[in-house]
Amino acid sequence: MDKVYSFIADKTGERLDKYVCQQHPELSRTHVQKLIAEGYITVNDQRGKAGLRLSKGDRLKLVIPPTPPSRLVPEAMPLNILYEDADLLVVDKPAGLTVHPAPGHPSHTLVNAILSHFPHLADIGDSLRPGVVHRLDKDTSGVMLVAKNSAAQADLSQQFKSHSVTKAYLVLVKGKLTPENGVIEADIGRDPRNRKRMAVVAEGREARTEYRVIKYIGDYTLLEVRTETGRTHQIRVHMAAIGFPVVGDKVYGVKSQYLSRQFMHACRLGFKLPSSGEYVEFKSELPPDLAQALKDIG
């Protein structure tokens, strides 16, 4: 569980990172700066910056998440592999499966499952995210790409960074969204009032979402959504921001009697094969729980 500390600054002019280190000498300056960058340290309920100069009486809150495991353990779990070559895997991720270990999810992730099939992936890239070049939320199903060697990981990561990858999702939102085609451009960052949420904020990172209406179903709209950028919770945050929240999304959207998770499915992923430069696309059909929800709503 998270460790939470609250205290009041008793001096003026001290840097935030230095002051927290003074209060918690067991934490290194680098660790404190990382916690600040990730939104775990707030000042007067606002996200802090390492160089922020404190004033006497400022209210500080420090959250220290549990340390994730230092090594990954392969776990035998079924994998739906859509495509495989020497460089990469394309898998159809089920809902409810976290992509890689993180605080709160130390094991039973997609990466643990992949390592049971391909143990050598443990040596690729980040020790806790080997082969990972992009992510899907835990409760989002659909097409995911995993690199099998360092050269492929670098190539695919660059494709994502340059926004040349096609990422399309099927999304059900509450309300009748018009016009039938549109673009949402709004910067996204940590919600200053709740570090576990993202929000449209002025100091956030650029985010662009395109959508087109597939069909209207009563007071709901089924969309195909494409993301040019890949911000955390981007579609869910953008849809909520324009007043059409994702159905079943317990954080940003609206709960639904028809679903136990958010109606989001990564239906299509297109990219260039590192080996040849050939552009390829892979698709995933709507899973049974989402298909059933559409029937029930309709």
Instruction: Supply the residues annotated as catalytic.
Output: 137
Concatenate the DSSP letters of all residues of 64-119 into one string.
EPPPPPSS---------EEEE-SSEEEEEEPTT--SS-BTTB-SSSHHHHHHHH-G
Distance CA(290)–CA(262), nearest Å, equals 9
Beta strand 141-147 pairing with 59-64: unpaired
Measured CA angle at 151 (ends 266, 149), to 5 deg: 70
Instruction: Say which residue the tokens 């199903």 belong to.
Output: 141
Phi then psi for residue 75, to 5 deg, are -130, 130
Q: Please count the other Cβ atoms lying within 10 Å of the Cβ belonging to residue 58.
A: 20
d(CA 55, CA 110): 45
Which amino acid type is present at position 48? Answer: G
C-alpha dist (Å) from residue 255 to 183, 263, 298: 25, 10, 17
> Which residues lie across from 104 on neighbouring strands?
none
**What would you report as the CA-atom Rg of the chain, rounded to the nearest whole angstrom?**
21
Q: Is residue 178 within a helix (H) or strand (E), and if so which, with residue range? A: none
Q: How far apart are CA 113 and CA 75, in angstroms?
A: 5
How far apart are the C-alpha atoms of 263 and 172, rounded to whole Å? 6
